[in-house]
Amino acid sequence: MSEKMADKDERSVRQHSANEMHPEEGPPDDLTQEQLLGMYRRMRLIRGFEDRAKEHFEAGEITGFLHLSQGQEAVPVGVCTALRKDDYITSTHRGHHDVIAKGCDVKYMFAELYGRANGYCKGKGGSMHIADFSQGIIGATGIVSGSLPTAPGIALSIKMRGTDQVAVCFFGDGATAEGGFHEALNLSALWQVPIIFVCQNNLYGLSHPWDKTAFKCELARRVSTYNVAAECTDGMDAVAVYRAAEKAVERARAGGGPSFIEAKTYRFLGHYVGDPALYMPKEEREMWRERDATLKLGRQLRAWGYMSEDEDDQMAADVAKELEEAIAFAKSSPKPPPEDALTDVYGHFDYLGNPLDEGGR
Amino acid sequence: MADVKHLREISYRDALREALREEMLRDERVFLMGEDIADPFGSAYKVTLGLSPEFGTDRVRQTPISELGFVGAGVGAALTGMRPVVELMYIDFSTLPMDQIANQAAKIRYMSGGQAQVPLVIRTQGGMGRSSAAHHAQSLEAWFVHIPGLLVAMPSTPYDAKGLLKTAIRLNDPVMFIEHKLLYNTEGPVPDEEYTIPFGVVDVKREGTDCTVVATSRTVLMALQAAEMLAQEGISLEVIDPRTLFPLDVETIVDSVKKTSRLVVAHESPERGGFAAEVIAQVADKGFDYIDAPIQRVCAPSVPTPFARHLEDFIIVNETHIADRVRRLVRGEI
């Protein structure tokens, strides 16, 4: 192979091979108009949140790292539509879309990104660690694959407590080459716990492409060798993701054990804000942009007569207003006093080890 | 212990088992998880022997060899309403689940702005003395003391082992509970009655006037033997066992130094970056004016643990090492 050809191969347009959903003729019969409109609004809210977060990061108002999810909205929205409020999710460093899909309020999310006292984590977690335990959002981890070993324990707890909740573990394709991925699948299958592993395969672990992560690997096939029910779905189609999740949730609630969903999707932007993503060829990005799941659902809703052009515009305006108000809320929120850096380290002790209560005695 | 009426002599191993059993009876959220912990094997050092027949294999949950997996599962269960006690067979194996310990368990409360709690106990054991070489004989407590968000307990007696483990299980913070492989067969008085021991309170194992020796885990026993030896020579040692390395009861150590004006810190782990350095820094900070002699560390040299018995013996801190150092210190030879 000549150098030129090798280079061409290196820069080849990456796309998922199978399971692209064909546009439906009519509306799905397993989701109501209200549910579908709710999904669409959530997806627009996620997209808008990410776009606004990017602007404010680039303006220097938000600090740290920002890993955005534009392009992946359909995955968590499809999955979370199949969940109840008391079900659990874990998320990742790229997790804004996951937690908004599960129910996070963008007001407190922006407040967290701005490092304010009334953010979800009181300014201590930031973009990569948003959690809301009141609705089962067990937190996002900054370590790739970090929540994979944790999530089977959440599901084990469900099983031991005897409830019919389920645990969903969101992660990316990058996590599938980590050891924790295998240990989590193995233990979940062994214990038959109510967990759903959702791999958002966006084709890149930072800059590293999926086709150089595992050799000619169909992920669902690999996972099925653990005796975990595994399927691959079109992550650019919220309805398709919902259907895969609904089956998995039903299986989990009925005591049928773990499931795995690979949702084939794409990250429209770089790994973090500031990454020019030179490793993602222009034609590849354009091709995926054309498959935008949020725009697709909007087109479908209009085609099915579930939403007029005016209603679509109105929703866009409502979402923009909600985000504007959230940003205003964040900006006008108080900063935590600096000494707050020293609290919440332990439950029963201050950070120096002085007792705060009679805990454990 | 003075107000306790009925004392029995039981082993460190049995004391730990009693703590687990009592807490499992007291709170159905408490369960055990780890490698080889179910009967008939009953765990590597037999602490959990007999518990799986009584509580069943759901609550005495034996796992495959999958430290990252089951420690992670402990974190997840602790976050969602259970109180797992996970057994890591050797502290040397803590490298495998370290992300779950140091990045997840330790930090979730803080990262979530105080929403989360992680009532997780990781029972493990370390220490030399059985010719088990570099991967089965380390003392890694300093790693965990260094991580904000973790509590670290290191009992030296059956009484402390039981009381501290019961407390550890009731706390809402993650605890590294570090036992010593040569202590399981040691015996000591343990009351029949229910008791717990608070974290962050040292135990003065022997009172004395000439030199304070702070020692941890099995090295406490070495320090007590050194104190016996030196007593024959008219040198009086005060031996202090921190029992929990974090939280650390510095005040009582400083009070002791006020009395003795000399401090030696002894432990089995390698000297460089070890726990002794932390004790010494804190005493230097809070008790500098009371110190009249160079502060001393009696620790293992900073080398991996060797296999051959005579090589291992050469690096283990023993009563003679401690006695020699104290003697020279008291005589003004250092």
Question: Which residues of chain A fall short of a pLDDT of 50?
Answer: 1-11, 18-21
Containing structural domain, residue A260:
31-342
Question: pLDDT tens per residue, chain B (334 residues)?
Answer: 545 668 899 999 999 999 999 999 999 999 999 999 999 999 999 999 999 999 999 999 999 999 999 999 999 999 999 999 999 999 999 999 999 999 999 999 999 999 999 999 999 999 999 999 999 999 999 999 999 999 999 999 999 999 999 999 999 999 999 999 999 999 999 999 999 999 999 999 999 999 999 999 999 999 999 999 999 999 999 999 999 999 999 999 999 999 999 999 999 999 999 999 999 999 999 999 999 999 999 999 999 999 999 999 999 999 999 999 999 999 999 9
In the structure encoding, which two tokens stand for residue A309, read together?
């052009």
Flag whether A25 is in a domain: no
B168 touches chain A (CB under 8 A): yes
B173 and B297 housed in the same domain? no
Q: Is A172 helix (H, G, I), strand (E, B) or coil?
A: strand
A158 touches chain B (CB under 8 A): yes
Complex confidence, ipTM: 0.96
Q: Do B68 and A152 touch (CB under 8 A)?
A: no
Flag whether A48 is in a domain: yes
B176 and B260 housed in the same domain? no
* Number of domains observed in the structure of chain A: 1
Tell me, what's the pLDDT at A22?
52
B150 and B249 housed in the same domain? no
B96 and B148 housed in the same domain? yes
Shortest CA distance to A257 belongs to which of A175, A156, A332? A156
pTM: 0.95
Count of positions (residues) in chain A: 361
- A18 DSSP assignment: S
Tell me, what's the pLDDT at A1?
37
Radius of gyration of chain B (CA): 20
* Number of domains observed in the structure of chain B: 2
Half-sphere exposure of B261 (CA within 13 A, CB side): 7
The CATH code of the domain that includes B85 is 3.40.50.970
Flag whether B100 is in a domain: yes
Three-state DSSP string of chain B: CCCCCCEEEEEHHHHHHHHHHHHHHHCCCEEEEEECCCCCCCCCCCCCCCHHHHHHHHHEEEECCCHHHHHHHHHHHHHCCCEEEEEECCHHHHHCCHHHHHHHHCCHHHHCCCCCCCCCEEEEEECCCCCCCCCCCCCCHHHHHCCCCCEEECCCCHHHHHHHHHHHHHCCCCEEEEEECCCCCCEEEEECCCCCCCCCCCEEEECCCCEEEEECCHHHHHHHHHHHHHHCCCCCEEEEECCEEECCCHHHHHHHHHHHCCEEEEEEEECCCCHHHHHHHHHHHHHHHHCCCCCEEEEECCCCCCCCHHHHHHHCCCHHHHHHHHHHHHCCCC
Tell me, what's the pLDDT at A360?
65
Q: Do B116 and A120 touch (CB under 8 A)?
A: no
Flag whether A75 is in a domain: yes
B106 and B187 housed in the same domain? yes
Q: Do A347 and B173 touch (CB under 8 A)?
A: yes
B256 and B210 housed in the same domain? yes
Tell me, what's the pLDDT at B1?
52
B306 and B234 housed in the same domain? yes
Which chain A residue has the Cα nearest residue B64? Answer: A187
B103 touches chain A (CB under 8 A): yes
Flag whether B181 is in a domain: yes
Flag whether B32 is in a domain: yes
The CATH code of the domain that includes A244 is 3.40.50.970
A316: phi then psi, degrees, rounded to nearest 5: -60, -40
Flag whether A182 is in a domain: yes
**CB A361, CB B167: distance < 8 Å:** yes
B116 neighbourhood in chain A, CB within 8 Å: 131, 133, 138-139
- Which among B77, B112, B246 has the least Cβ separation from residue A156? B77
B269 and B166 housed in the same domain? no
Containing structural domain, residue B137:
7-191
Flag whether A355 is in a domain: no
- Residues of B identified as active-site: 67, 136
B162 and B279 housed in the same domain? no
B185 and B237 housed in the same domain? no
